[in-house]
Structure 1
Amino acid sequence: MSNNGNTFLGILAGTAIGATLGILFAPDKGANTRQRISDEAQLAKQKISETATELKEQVVNTATEKKQTLDEQMESLISSASYKADDVINTLESKLKALKEKNKKLQKTS
């Protein structure tokens, strides 16, 4: 995304510079030249604005996708941790049950 944006901005800047130089070196009246430069500057401003909007939308879309992926990963992690916690609890409960039975046997023999 960054490379595409930089490339596009480079092409846009080169086009604007080339158009401006072409206008400056073209034989025409000063007022006409200034008007052409003004028009080209407005066009360049619009193109830059459109490019900025497109880049912003790309960033928002990418951020949204990454957030969804992160949410899915977090949900999976929480689910996995929950299952592991259940396994630990079940193991501890069975060990506790075994210890209680062993304790009962020891109390009967005493």
Structure 2
Amino acid sequence: MSRSNTVIGILAGAAIGAAVGILFAPDKGQKTRRKIKDGFDHQKDELQNKFNHLSDQVKSKFSRAKVDLESSFDDLVANAQDTKEDVIAALEKKLADLKAQAAAANKK
């Protein structure tokens, strides 16, 4: 955030400096007003471009974070599936052992 504030401050300072310089230039009023308007339009366009660039960077970072989160979630689901299958296999083995013990106890 500090970097973007610095850029905005520099652009605002440049715009104000240009406007003051134009105001003190020995030109007609109409020509001076046009120069000021052109300067502000240029600074506005530059600021809009910087904002768009910053916005694209933020969107890109959020997009990557979303992909990373989805990937982590998919890994978690896959691990849970593996764990579930391991638990089921262990329970089935335990059940088979208990059935074998019960059958042996019934034969006695």
TM over 0.5: yes
Instruction: Give 1:17-96 correspondences, 5 Å limit.
Output: 17-96=16-95
Q: Which contiguous aligned blocks of 4+ residues in structure 1 show a shift greater than 3 angstroms?
A: none
**When the two structures are aligned, how many residues end up with a matched partner?**
108
2:50 is paired with a residue whose SS is helix
Shift of 1:106: 2.0
**Percent of counterpart pairs with the same letter?**
39
The two structures have a TM-score, normalised by structure 1, of 0.86
| CA deviation profile, 1:70-107 (whole Å, cap 9, x unmatched) | 12111211121111111111111111111111111222
Aligned counterpart, 1:5: 4
Q: CA deviation at 1:3?
A: 3.3
CA RMSD of aligned residues (A): 1.6
**C-alpha distance in 2, partners of 1:9/1:60?**
20
Cα distance, 1:32 vs structure 2: 1.9
Unpaired segments ≥5 residues, structure 2? none
Q: Which amino acid aligns with 1:13?
A: A
TM-score (norm. length: structure 2): 0.87
After superposing the two structures, state which structure 1 stretch, 40-49 or 17-26, moved more.
Answer: 17-26
* 2: CA distance, partners of 1:94 / 1:10: 71
Q: Distance in 2 between matches of 1:74 and 1:4?
A: 33
Q: Which has the higher contact order (CA 8 A, sep 6+)?
A: 1
After superposing the two structures, state which structure 1 stretch, 80-89 or 23-32, moved more. 23-32
Query: Tell me, what secondary structure is at the counterpart of 2:26?
Result: coil
